[in-house]
Structure 1
Amino acid sequence: MKKKTEPAGADFAPARPRTSAPRAPDDAGASAESRGERSPVRVRAAAPARGAPAETIEPERLQKVLAQLGVGSRREIEEWVVAGRISVNGEPAELGQKIGPGDRVKVNGKLVPLKFATRTPRVLIYHKPEGEIVSREDPDGRPTVFERLPLLRKGRWIAVGRLDFNTSGLLLFTNDGTLANRLMHPRYELEREYAVRLLGELTEEQIESLKTGIQLEDGLARFTTLTDQGGEGINHWYKVTLSEGRNREVRRMFEAVGLTVSRLMRVRYGPVTLSSRLKRGMWMEMPEEDVCELAGLPRPQRQVSARTAEKARQVRVHRTTPR
């Protein structure tokens, strides 16, 4: 897979000096040691004294553990449990079942190595172009967003929400099913912001209707904000925000008031904003410190050299060709 990199700043709020280097993608090349660079200082925890009691690890729900490992999303894992595709210690798994380090879990007959230690998820920020689908396979042979992503040694990338075939813009991926659920679940009400180009211009009555609520086939939908961005000729631009992600929701809302969307681009998802340097078809990895804030995890505590800290500030974007 061909790839070019260039420095870019991640538009992630709140901005602050970073003290930890972003984790390199799996296909990023040789390690720092093999390149002759000095590695950051590693701090190891002191070994427990002989005879000290072992740390107790509380059992956790099966779907949570497997989701954290990137096996699938919680919803997918629950469906697999119902379908009998998951076993625990040789017996069919049950919904809500808890497991611990001593349990043997198999998915489709394959043993899953369990990990209960806290780890920082990985998050990719991708600028999706039009003409790609957010699916792993397509019967029509259309290109998918997953063909451009770096390969994972373990687990898989999970798309945070979807963008339809003709929609471009910000798309997040993570290898952690729990984080994916946190970012997508309606109860967290993470705001999505879109730039919309219409064939025509909205009237004041239409704007009020879209902000108050439009009745769609799958329920009431409304924009939290709707601002006029101007335009020329028959094309007019608007910026809209909403706190949910139903299928083709933005397009359907404008169609409901009699206007057609000629271009749609997502520019923000929650606190993550699409960087102007991240061009279409490019991705970059979110720095670990920002991932911890996004996931509600403690910030990593580790010592780093001044050189490593400087490298952390130079977030790199990657351009790839589909595999």
Structure 2
Amino acid sequence: MTAPTRTLLSLKRQAAADHGPRLEERLHKVLANAGLGSRRMLEQRIEQGEVRVNNEVATIGTSVGAGDRVELDGHAYVVASDRREDAEVLMYHKPEGEVITREDPEGRPTVFDNLPRLKGSRWIAVGRLDLNTTGLLLLTTDGDLAHALMHPGTALEREYLCRVHGEVPDEVLAQLSAGIELEDGPARFEEIAPISRGGSHSWFRVILREGRNREVRRLWESQGLMVSRLKRIRYANIELPRLLRRGHSQALDAAA
């Protein structure tokens, strides 16, 4: 199935004040505004139980607000406020050796050194990648948007390529898919697919629905295996552009 052209669903109504009640809008209207069908057709699909909000089946009259996660046709979307006329979203291809902090006490290079300069705002990283992990890092000038994309309740997919030292038995793959207990709670790979397997090392494509610290590496380490290379290639429906070089960034339409 072709991936949708949007990851975010926008609320078109405006709140009366920044600190007023949570802004909500009817689900079928939000979906229709995103071009996912007519309001009448979407109401029918909601009535038939084909749409889920925050992991629960939606019903006619369901309303959604910023941060809610909507699932339709196997794809996940995050609802965000539409008060982002000046907001920017950036895709950055992080190389090894860069930290995701503005100032590092050890003097290591940071991703912010390579980002476009802003006036009157600043870049906010959507999640983190550890020092030796490369690949897609999203940044935005909108704090609410960053929070919505990172919130555990949205359970957006993060896809990685990883090279693992040594032989990896099928039993290990089954265990990592079924789930294990880490020091900060249960964890599992939503999907794990071999790319190449050999005696000295193997490559895998793995998918998570959360972003805990070093979670991919810790999952493999729980089975006595070490990850020697790790690269994030997708966050939700946003893929790392093939032509985007390491250490470079590319603007993304915030409605994409």
Q: TM-score, normalised by structure 1?
A: 0.55
4+ residue stretches of structure 1 with deviation over 3 A? 12-16
Which sections of structure 1, spanning at least 5 residues, go unmatched? 1-11, 17-55, 65-115, 294-323
Aligned partners of 2:15, 2:182: CA distance in 1, in Å?
Answer: 47
Change in 2 beyond 3 A, CA 1:278/1:13: farther
Q: Is the 8 A contact 2:167 2:197 kept in 1?
A: no
Partner of 1:196: 162
1:14 and 2:18 aligned: no
Alpha-carbon shift at residue 14 of structure 1 (Å): 3.2
Separation of aligned partners in 1, 2:15 and 2:152: 31
Give the conservation status (yes or no) of the 8 Å contact 1:198–1:259: yes
Provide the secondary structure at the position in 1 that maps to 2:90: strand
Pairing 1:225–2:191 present:
yes
* Alignment of 1:240 onto 2:211: no
C-alpha contact (below 8 Å) 2:217/2:227 kept by paired residues: yes
Matched with 2:76 is none
Rounded to whole Å, the distance in 1 between the matches of 2:15 and 2:132 is 47
- Determine helix, strand or coil for the equivalent of 2:255: helix
Q: Is 1:292–2:245 an aligned residue pair?
A: no
SS at match of 2:91: strand
Structure with the largest fraction of strand:
2
Residues 220-269 of structure 1 show CA distances to partners (whole Å, capped at 9, x for unaligned) of: 00000000000455121000001000000000110000100000000000
Indicate the residue corresponding to 1:7 in structure 2. none
Which structure has more relative contact order (CA 8 Å, sep 6+)? It is: 1
Secondary structure of the 1:61 match is coil
Matched, 1:258 2:221: no
TM-score by length of 2: 0.69
Task: Could you tell me which runs of 5 or more consecutive residues in structure 2 were left unpaired when the two chains were aligned.
Answer: 7-13, 23-81
Amino acid at match of 1:61: H
Distance in 1 between the 2:172 and 2:132 partners? Answer: 24
Please give the secondary structure, in 2, of the residue aligned with 1:237.
Answer: strand
**Partners of 1:195 and 1:237 within 8 A in 2:** yes
Whether the aligned pair in 2 keeps the contact of 1:13 and 1:272 (CA below 8 Å) is no
Cα displacement (A) at 1:59: 1.6
Q: SS state of the match for residue 197, structure 1? A: strand
| 1: CA distance, partners of 2:173 / 2:15 | 54
Tell me, in whole angstroms, the C-alpha distance in 2 between the residues paired with 1:61 and 1:181: 17
Partner of 2:18: 60
Which structure's CA Rg is the greater one? 1
Aligned residues: 188
Of 144, 151, 155, 1:178 maps to 144
Q: Any idea what the Cα deviations from partners look like across 1:3-41, whole Å, max 9, x if unmatched?
A: xxxxxxxxx95359xxxxxxxxxxxxxxxxxxxxxxxxx
Relative to structure 1, the CA distance from residue 57 to residue 132 in structure 2 (aligned partners, 3 Å threshold; closer, same or farther) is closer
Alignment of 1:100-179 (within 5 A): 119-179=85-145
Deviations 1:62-91 (A, max 9, x none): 9x9xxxxxxxxxxxxxxxxxxxxxxxxxxx
Return closer, same or farther for 1:124/1:160 CA change in 2, 3 Å cut-off. Answer: same
Contact 1:197–1:237 (CA<8 Å) still a contact in 2? Answer: yes
Q: CA RMSD in A?
A: 2.2
Q: State the distance in 1 between where 2:101 and 2:192 align.
A: 30
- Opposite residue 244 of structure 2, the aligned amino acid is L
SS in 1 for 2:216: helix
- Where 1:208 maps in the other structure, the secondary structure is helix
Q: Which residue of 1 aligns with 2:242?
A: 276
Q: CA deviation at 1:201?
A: 2.6
Residue 31 of structure 1 corresponds to none
